[in-house]
Amino acid sequence: MIVCHCQSISSHDIHAAIDWMRAADPDTLITPGKVYRALGKAADCGGCLPLFLDTMRRNDNLEVPMNLRGWRGGATQESKACKATRKSSTTSIGRSGAS
Ligand code: FES
């Protein structure tokens, strides 16, 4: 079934792109934009987006990887701990004598 008429993308193309991306990187987040890019195309009018998303949601490989669930774009738990150490307590940049 053709999902995107502007770019002639079928539901089979969408599922194949999702399966390929998941096989290539098990931790990747798969978005409609990434599916378009994987197919070498770009959205035009955007009228297909609701059907495009419905088609994507029917693919079992679309599931968000467990380690990325709840992630809000900030630091991960491992990287939250500051590993930097202070090298010198006498460092003062641009503050000497200025008021
Ligand atoms: S129908 Fe898909 S971008 Fe127009």
Average pLDDT over every residue of 73-99? 53
pLDDT higher at 37 or 95: 37
Query: What residue spans define the domains of the chain?
Result: 2-62
Closest atom of ligand 1 to CA, residue 5? 1
48-64 pLDDT tens trace: 999 999 999 999 988 87
Closest atom of ligand 1 to CA, residue 44? 3
Question: What pLDDT score was predicted for residue 37?
Answer: 96
Cα 34 to ligand 1 centre (Å): 15
pTM: 0.69
The percentage of residues in the chain with a pLDDT greater than 70, rounded to a whole number, is: 74
Question: What pLDDT score was predicted for residue 99?
Answer: 45
Q: Does ligand 1 lie within 6 Å of residue 48's CB atom? A: yes
Taking the CB of residue 36, how many other CB atoms lie within 10 A of it?
A: 19
What burial class does residue 38 get, using C-beta atoms within 10 Å of its C-beta: 0-12 exposed, 13-18 middle, 19+ buried?
A: middle
Say if CB 18 and CB 61 are below 8 A apart. yes
